[in-house]
Structure 1
Amino acid sequence: MRAIVLLSCLVMVYAADKYSSKYDNFDVETLISNDRLLKAYINCFLEKGRCTPEGADFRKALPEAVETTCAKCTEKQKNNIRKVIRAIQQKHPKQWDELVNKTDPSGKHRADFDKFIQGSS
């Protein structure tokens, strides 16, 4: 579980079988290429800073998305989440560790989530 940030930034509002497609077109490339913006989202997820409405929605969905390895995510959401998580892991490894510990403190989901991030799930 490496957390999921953003879940990876991008898992939205709960729905029956899938998360809402409301954020399927969220501009992930702008997020991961703008370090200031990426840090703001990380701080939102860690509850260390203000959240945009999108960030607040993502933060609410994170625990379930980590626990279920994004079972309710659409393929687009899964791809976006992977991109965001990889960016956080590379650019902000300490904050990634904090997110992992916050989202999956027992480490119960970590191995499955790591596989998901690598695209093996």
Structure 2
Amino acid sequence: MKIAVAVVLVFFVTGIIGDDFYTSKYDNLDVEGILKNDRLLLSYHKCLLEGIRCTPEGEELRKVLPEAIETKCAKCTNKHKGTVKKVGKFLLNEKPELWNELMEKYDPQNKYRADLERRLKE
């Protein structure tokens, strides 16, 4: 009986710990392919700005982006952080107009922008 309770407790605790991070179900998304394809990139951008015609992964990102920006990606896995850095650097350097629009939407008071841009340049 004690073993059964211990096993249930381990599963319960593991489940809670797993919720401390954003979902990993989109970790295999072809981010490189999206960044290289203006049509796809603009589609995701429009989703993030206006919430229209979002893919499931775009909708998930739209949902967590404000919190991720505010908390410096506290619930991001290492995989998420790598992807954020790749996409952020790309937008900042190659598509600054898209970066600016996202920052105006998700950080209108510029509370986090300078720190985020500094971290992306590291």
TM range (shorter): 0.7 to 0.9
Give the TM-score, by structure 2 length: 0.77
Q: Which runs of 4+ in 1 moved over 3 A?
A: none
Q: Does 1:108 align with 2:111?
A: yes
Distance 1:92 1:49, change over 3 A: farther
1:95 to 95, 98, 112: 98
Counterpart residue identity of residue 45, structure 1: L
Hey, what's the Cα distance between the residues in 1 that align with 2:35 and 2:85? Answer: 11
- Higher-helix-fraction structure: 2
Distance 1:48 1:80, change over 3 A: same
Residue 62 of structure 1 is matched in structure 2 by 65
1:115 Cα offset (Å): 3.0
Hey, what's the Cα distance between the residues in 2 that align with 1:115 and 1:16? Answer: 29
Hey, what's the Cα distance between the residues in 2 that align with 1:87 and 1:44? Answer: 18
* Percentage of pairs with the same residue: 50
Give the TM-score, by structure 1 length: 0.77
Structure showing greater radius of gyration is: 2
Greater relative contact order: 1 or 2 (C-alpha under 8 angstroms, separation 6 or more)?
Answer: 1
Hey, what's the Cα distance between the residues in 2 that align with 1:109 and 1:91? Answer: 21
1:46 to 21, 46, 49: 49
Number of equivalences: 105
Gaps of at least 5 residues in structure 2 are 1-17
Secondary structure at the aligned position of 1:36 is classed as: helix
Q: Does 1:77 align with 2:119?
A: no
1:48 Cα offset (Å): 6.3
Gaps of at least 5 residues in structure 1 are 1-14
